[in-house]
């Protein structure tokens, strides 16, 4: 790459050749980054089928899809990793884990995993501008949470691709309407890509005007001072994993202790939490 000319610059950042480094730098400066080819076609097809299956299971749990419509929660698959292990494997995809550690540090927790089913010409709550840390109007010097949106279909303008306001993770307020219209960008990404973004970057889903469903799985990963949307350890109903990092990532390490004794035991080993 050709050297970038400058003057009056005595300190500058450099990039190594690793993909997670590029992702982290783009997220820090622009608010988002795209990693193409993260998943193979066979894995993408399998996850699409599994996502539809878990959604049907969740519809039955609440008494039918019409109930989800009443709750304004239709076409969202909550915490699919608790229903199908393939989604747990997805949540710990090496690129997702490494990018999260580059941006947030080694101690991270999976705050939520949601499947998204964007049907043609159907409006969704995600079509409105939002941050994945909702209702927050402040900024931090370092990211507190990131999104890792796995594209199970091609993300294009016609399929309702995600739109971003670049750099909005660095400003407290939502920008004026004129600036939103001027600066919003629609991100193209082929299926199998992962779209990474600072959770404080304003974004929204587009409207799917194609003739096919656009599916995706979003992960919000944060530092342990933030709490999970759904209690993943309770959903899994298992003892903590033997891998201490995975136990922390899924929330076993960071969830509030039910007693002083449990808190003290948990400091020795993640698996001590199962002792009575």
Percentage, residues of the chain above pLDDT 90 = 77
Q: Looking at the predicted structure, is the pLDDT value of residue 175 above 80?
A: yes
Residue ranges covered by each domain of the chain? 19-230
Write down the pLDDT at residue 276: 43
Q: State the pLDDT at residue 95.
A: 97
Tell me what the mean pLDDT of segment 270-276 comes to: 48
Q: What is the pLDDT of residue 193?
A: 98
CB-count burial class (<10 Å; 0-12, 13-18, 19+) for 138: exposed
pLDDT band at 1 (very low <50, low <70, confident <90, very high): low
CB 114 within 8 A of CB 156: no
- Predicted local distance difference test score (pLDDT) of residue 103: 97
- Quote the CATH superfamily of domain 19-230: q2cbj1_9rhob like domain (2.60.120.620)
* pLDDT reported for residue 215: 96
pLDDT above 50 (res 259): yes
Give 264's pLDDT tier (boundaries 50, 70, 90): confident
pLDDT of residue 14: 78
**What mean pLDDT do residues 18-47 have?**
96
- pLDDT for res 15: 75
Q: Based on the number of CB atoms within 10 Å of its own CB, is 268 exposed (0-12), middle (13-18) or buried (19 or more)?
A: exposed
Encode pLDDT of 143-163 as tens digits. Answer: 999 999 999 999 999 999 999
Q: In this predicted structure, what is the pLDDT of residue 155?
A: 96
Neighbours of 101 (CB within 10 A): 16
Model confidence over 82-120: pLDDT tens digits?
A: 999 999 999 999 999 999 999 999 999 999 999 999 999
Across 19-28, 30-39, 185-194, 267-276, least confident range: 267-276
């Amino acid at each position: 790459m050709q050297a970038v000319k400058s003057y009056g610059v005595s300190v500058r950042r450099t990039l190594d050749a690793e993909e997670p480094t590029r992702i982290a730098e783009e997220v820090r400066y622009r608010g988002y980054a795209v990693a193409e080819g993260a998943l193979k076609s066979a894995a993408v097809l399998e996850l699409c089928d599994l996502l539809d299956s878990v959604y049907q299971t969740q519809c039955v749990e609440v008494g039918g899809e019409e109930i989800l419509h009443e709750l304004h929660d239709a076409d969202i698959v909550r915490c699919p990793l608790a229903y199908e292990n393939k989604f747990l494997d997805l949540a710990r995809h090496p690129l997702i884990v490494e990018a999260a550690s580059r941006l947030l540090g080694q101690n991270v927790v999976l705050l939520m995993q949601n499947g998204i089913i964007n049907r043609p010409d159907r409006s969704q709550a995600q079509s409105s501008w939002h941050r994945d840390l909702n209702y927050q109007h402040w900024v931090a010097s370092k990211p507190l949470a990131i999104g890792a949106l796995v594209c199970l279909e091609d993300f294009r303008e016609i399929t309702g691709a995600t739109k971003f306001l670049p750099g909005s993770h660095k400003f407290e307020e939502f920008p004026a309407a004129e600036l939103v219209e001027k600066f919003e960008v629609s991100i193209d990404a082929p299926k199998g890509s992962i779209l990474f973004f600072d959770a404080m970057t304003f974004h929204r889903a587009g409207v799917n005007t194609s003739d096919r469903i656009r599916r995706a799985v979003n992960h919000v990963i944060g530092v342990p001072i933030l709490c999970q949307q759904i209690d993943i350890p309770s959903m899994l109903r298992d003892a903590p994993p033997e891998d201490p990092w995975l136990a922390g990532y899924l929330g076993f390490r960071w969830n509030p202790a039910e007693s002083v004794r449990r808190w003290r035991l948990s400091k020795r080993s993640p698996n001590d939490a199962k002792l009575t």
